[in-house]
Structure 1
């Protein structure tokens, strides 16, 4: 009888974990309307200058993107926001968001992060009317904050009680894989090539996530200078598929 009760309890815990995992998968679905398919974050500049032409080129670019960009910027902001939210420090969280805004020198990249964050809040609140997320949306509406996506995403993962590593790993994965899908359209590449690039990137994404877990706000830096310049140059391209 005790064994049966333990088995039922274990099954219930597994079901709870599985359900929460589905919610996390839901917000990372390509159909979830945050607008990531409209942004290249400077990648389109590399494509138009023929620096990204093959799946090998794309892999090298995205390896740089995750290890030298995300792991020094948005990844750290996700981690720091998660920890601030756990402590319920709204003032510190607002200050963190202002640092996130200031860290993005390229106007298009800064605007993209703001747009995605606002769209995320608009999409998630009707299905998950959480009080903390409502308050964050209120701060956006009152123009106290800009609404950057890494912060809004982190707040959601805290409220859903995901552990920090899972929240961070899935953020790094979706941010990188979204660019693979956009590159497949822009270069263009075949779907098979895109799948191969994603498969190659998974160890790099895991490595970058582990690095971010050891970093703090003091480690934030514009580490990928070439990407920053490409992001600034993007608005001057004669024809563009993407907003950033």
Structure 2
């Protein structure tokens, strides 16, 4: 990658990116509120489960295939990845969080990085139009994959960006719930980096037909969160 593409990858992985992911905990809030996660190591184990059961086989597969489709100017391939990921995401709050983040990412970069949306045969521009028109859900991992390809970020790095940002999102949510300090969170982040690498190594080249998500307890917690009386996060 060029230096510019590398710096863009860092920007996309930064929690400073204002796409609304700070409002999502993907069920972590419910785990904490019900007392299932009390120690930092338990939090790390839980997020590792998310990586191996959801982020890898679902989000990363969708992101990687969207990136590959965009590289071959295949809007149909991008839309297929989007539809499959949306269908495999069972809790309504998880789907809402993902689509809100995807829409916001496209909107933000449309304003700040218009060169990425060159309309002359640009798959990113066509995908953004399809999202705007409601033709496709616009899930965040798929939007990130197409954006990354347009920005010159290679597929493996795009997968690392997606998985890393998901981990920091969940760790940040747990910290804002007031149960874990900076040192605990950083210790778990350091531990989970190897898992991020392993997951991306396994799924970056996976076929779209293999996309699947199997984390019934996490999904149940997400569904219970929808009916919680008090919530700090939207999911």
- How much has 1:100 moved relative to structure 2? 1.6
- How much has 1:220 moved relative to structure 2? 1.8
For the 8 Å contact 2:160–2:197, the answer to whether it is kept is yes
For the 8 Å contact 1:222–1:228, the answer to whether it is kept is no
The farther-off stretch of 199-208 and 209-218 is 209-218
Task: Identify the residue that residue 155 of structure 1 maps to in structure 2.
Answer: 146
Q: How does 1:92-111 map to 2 (within 5 A)?
A: 92-111=77-96
Q: Unaligned stretches of 5+ in structure 1?
A: 1-15
Task: Identify the residue that residue 126 of structure 1 maps to in structure 2.
Answer: 111
Query: TM-score, normalization: structure 1?
Result: 0.89
2:38 is paired with a residue of what secondary structure? coil
Distance 1:213 1:194, change over 3 A: same
Task: Identify the residue that residue 180 of structure 2 maps to in structure 1.
Answer: 189
Task: Identify the residue that residue 88 of structure 1 maps to in structure 2.
Answer: 73
- How much has 1:28 moved relative to structure 2? 2.1
Task: Identify the residue that residue 19 of structure 1 maps to in structure 2.
Answer: 4
Distance 1:35 1:241 in 2: 13
> 4+ residue runs of structure 1 moved beyond 6 angstroms?
none
The farther-off stretch of 127-136 and 97-106 is 127-136
Distance 1:31 1:243 in 2: 18
Q: How does 1:14-53 map to 2 (within 5 A)?
A: 17-53=2-38
Note if 1:218 corresponds to 2:205.
no
Task: Identify the residue that residue 8 of structure 1 maps to in structure 2.
Answer: none
Count of matched residue positions in the alignment of Structure 1 and Structure 2? 229
Larger Rg: 1
Query: TM-score, normalization: structure 2?
Result: 0.93
Distance 2:97 2:141 in 1: 11
Task: Identify the residue that residue 3 of structure 1 maps to in structure 2.
Answer: none
Note if 1:165 corresponds to 2:156.
yes
Q: Unaligned stretches of 5+ in structure 2?
A: none
Distance 1:89 1:38 in 2: 32
Task: Identify the residue that residue 58 of structure 1 maps to in structure 2.
Answer: 43
For the 8 Å contact 2:29–2:173, the answer to whether it is kept is no
